Amino acid sequence: MAGDSEREPEPQPDDLDVRASTLRRASSISGGDPSPRPTSSAPKPLEPGTVLDGDYQIEGLLGTGGMSAVYIATHLRLKKRFAVKVVGESRELDPEAVTRLEREAQTTSGIDSEHIVDVTHLGKTDDDRLFVVMELLEGEDLRACQSARRDARGVRLPLEDEEVRAFVPQLLSALAAAHEAGVVHRDLKPENIFLAKRRDKIVVKLLDFGMSKLAHRDSLRITRTGQIVGTPLYMSPEQARGKHDEVHAPSDVYSLGVILFEMLSGEVPFPAETLYECVYKHTTEPPPPLAEKRMDLPVGVIELVHRCLEKEIEDRFPDAKAVLDAWDAAWATPTVDALEPPAGTLVAGPVATPAKDEKPAAEEASSTSGVLVGAVVLGVLAALGLLAWQLTRAPDEPSAPAVARPSPVAPPAPVVAPSEPILSSPPPAPVAAPPALPALSVHVTSQPSGAVVRQGETRLGTTPLDVSIPEGEASVEVSLTLREHASETRTLTRDDAEEGAHVRLTPRHTLVDFP
C-alpha cells in the first residue's frame, strides 16, 4: 500500500478547520498573544475582548487561513463557548458568494441532523467582515486521524474496518440530510469531516458547507512549484472540467468515493504532483482496483466505492441517501479473497455434466445377466439338436443300449431351469421424465460496477443486477460493457444462482489530448 500516499501533502492553512490540536491549545488562551500567528494574507486579527453583535466575546485565535480566521468566543449571557469563523473584507469577496454563504448558513442551521456542525449565528464585524458562529468541537478531523496511521517505514495505513463502519454511516446521514434539503457541500475532504469526542464515543460532524466558493480566486489552489494542496485530490470530474452548472449531489458522491477509497486503502485513488496531472486523472483514468489493495474487503463494499467513483454522473449513486441505503448490505457480501476469481472470469464452480454413455447400475447388472442367460439357452438348443439327431437315425445303424438312450419326455432338469429367467424377468421400469427446470435468477456483479448487461440485443440493466434464467433453460449468455473497459461475454448457469456471478472488467487505457 505504499503508492504515492506517503508523499501526499499535509493539510495547508487554506484548508483550516477546527481540529484537535488547536482546540486543546485554545482552551488555555486567556487573552495573551494568540498562537499560531496569522499569515500575511489573512484578514486583520480580532483582538481578545472584542465583542461581536453584542454577545460573542473573542477569547483568542484558533487558527488562520488565506481568507479566514477561526476564533474561540464566549457568549456573554449564556456563558457558553463557540467557534467563530471570520472571512475577509466584503470588497474582497464575490457578492454572489457572500449571498450564497448566507443562504446556505441559514439552510444548514435548519437541517435536522446531529452530524452537521451547528451554525447558530451569522453576522458582520464593525469593519464589515462576515462571520459565522458555530458549535465548538473537541477532537480531531479525519485528516489528522489518517495521518497518524503509519507503519514503521512511515507509509500511510488504512483505518480499521470497525472505525470505517462506525464513521461512514454518520457522515452519510449528514450528507443525506443536506441533499434532501437541496444543499450540496461541493468541498468534501477529510479536513471537513470532524471526529468529535462526546463522552465515551466519537460523533462525526460535517463542516464548511459552501465555504470553498467564497473567494474570487479559483478554489483549485496550487503552490508556486505546482504542488497540489488539498481540494483537487477529492474533486469530481465535472468540477475538474469547470462544469460548475453540473455540480450537484452526485458530485458530493464522487468526492465521498475518494474519501472511502482512502479510508479503506490508506491512499487516494488519484495521487498527483501537479494540478494538470490531477485533472487528467479525475477526468480520464479509471481508479485502481480497490480489490487489489484490500482482498479482505467484501465484494459489495468494493462495488459501492467504485460506483461512487464513476466518471459519468448518471452511473453514480444519485445522492448520499442511496449510498447509505446500500451500505449495510454491502458489508454482508463475501470477501474478495473468499471468492478468488481469476481475472475476467465468473465466480462460479464448474458444471457437473454426466457422460452420455454412463448407465445406471441396475441396467448394467441386467445386461450382465442377459449374457449369462443367452449362454444357457445356446446350451439347451445344442442338447435338443443332439437328441433330435439320435431319434432320426436310420434303422440299420447300430443303436446304443436302451438303458443309455435319453428319454425325450424327461430332459434333464438343469437344462430347462435356467431358461425360466427369460420368461419371468420383468422389463426395466420406465424412467419418469424429469420435471421442467424452474425459472430462477443469478445475481451478477462486476468490478467496476455499473457495467451494462445485455442478452443478445436486449439491454437488461447495469450491475449489480439479477439476471433471469427462464423455465426449462439451463443457462443464458450475457455480455457486459463499460466505458473505457474491454467488454466481456459470460454464460450464466443454474449453479451460479447460489453464489452469484462476478466479472472483472479489464481497463482499456486511452490517451486524451488537452488543448
> Annotated catalytic sites, by residue?
187
Helix H or strand E segment including 330: helix 320-331
272's torsion region: left (phi>0), alpha (psi -120 to 50) or beta?
beta
C-alpha cell at 430: 420406465
Q: 3-state secondary structure string, 366-426?
A: HHHHHHHHHHHHHHHHHHHHHHHHHHCCCCCCCCCCHHHCCCCCCCCHHHHHHHHHHHHCC
CA distance 307 to 253: 9
Buried b (16+ CB within 10 A) or exposed e, 112-122: ebebbbbbebb
**C-beta separation of 188 from 222 below 8 A:** no
Strands across the sheet containing 501-504? 465-469, 440-447, 501-504
Q: What is the rounded CA–CA span in Å between residue 467 and residue 451?
A: 13
Q: Which three cell numbers stand for residue 462?
A: 447495469
Give CA–CA dist 451/445, Å, rounded. Answer: 9
Cell numbers 449528514: residue: 174
Interhelix angle for 299-308 vs 320-331, to 10°?
160
CB contact at 8 A, 366 and 428? yes
Grid cell of 58 as nine digits: 473573542
C-alpha cell at 416: 430347462
Q: How far is CA 321 from CA 45, 167, 169, 180, 350, in A?
A: 40, 15, 10, 8, 39
Residue 456 DSSP class: T
How far is it, in rounded angstroms, from Cα 166 to Cα 157? 18
Contacts of 463 (CB under 8 A, 6+ apart): 303, 444, 445, 446, 449, 450, 451, 453, 480, 503
Q: Which of 248, 230, 115 is nearest to 186 (CA)?
A: 248
Helices (H), 110-147: 142-147
